Amino acid sequence: MAPAGASPGADAGEQEVPDCKLIEACKNGDTQAFEVLVTRHRGKVYAMIQNMIKNEADAWDLSQEVFLKVWKALPKFEARAKFSTWLYRITHNVVYDWLRKRKIESNGELDDGLLNPADIAVGAKTAPSAVDRPDKALENRELGDRINAALATLNAEHRETILLREVQGFDYKEIAKVMDCSLGTVMSRLYYARKKLQTLLSDEKGEN
């Protein structure tokens, strides 16, 4: 078993152990294997949640909640299912539970302030991790900011569909499984989300 707790990507040995092997070890109570699994997937889960709720502290806590639920539910995980789809399904549930609670706490109205584009930290967590030339990096950061601002105006379902498709690279069927909806609904959400983004980014371009 690869050593646990190593920083992501630092240990090439971790990558050699496939998820299915780690999951089997986890099912037998191997917490070290679970930590390897967490280290491998925490970045994607955190990014997904952060892009959904636009709040670093809550995204951190919700990511913890996701992985704790994963640990609890691992004995029921069937090997024929794709782990990443299952993981994002849990992430989806945790995020929507949180959004529902926020909605209730704000007297039934969705807390739009939460998704206010102006509140999004400039170039923070959604900036590309690769190091570019300074001018290119600035361009990318500006692009990232604009896109994040546009994404924040979408409703949760449209935003999640776009993130799963364009950012996480899920196919339509996987998106349907994660979001527990039909293929047609996925298509429709993608179509309207893209159209809205198109409008928002075109408008901004026109303004600039």
Partner 1 sequence: MKKEKTEELNVKWVDGLLSPEEEAELATLMEETPELEAELFQSRRVTQAVREGVSGSVEPPYGDFFNSQLMRKVDLEIASKTPAKRAERWWQSLRWAWAPAGALALVLAFFAGQRIGKPAVSGAGVAGLDKSAPAAIADLPSIYFTSDQLNADVISDADGEVSAIVVTGLDDLKDDLDLSTASLGSDLKGLPVSYLRSKARNFQ
Binding site for partner 1 (CB under 8 A): 4-5, 7-8, 29, 31, 34-35, 38-39, 42-44, 46-47, 50-51, 56, 59-60, 63-64, 67-68, 71-72, 125-129, 140, 143-144, 146-148, 151, 162-163, 165-169, 184, 187-188, 190-191, 194-195, 197-198, 201-202
CB of 190 to partner 1, least distance (A): 5
Nearer to partner 1 by Cβ, of 5 and 13: the residue is: 5
Residues 158, 156: Cα–Cα separation, whole Å: 6
CB of 29 to partner 1, least distance (A): 7
Nearer to partner 1 by Cβ, of 50 and 177: the residue is: 50
Nearer to partner 1 by Cβ, of 41 and 177: the residue is: 41
Nearer to partner 1 by Cβ, of 73 and 104: the residue is: 73
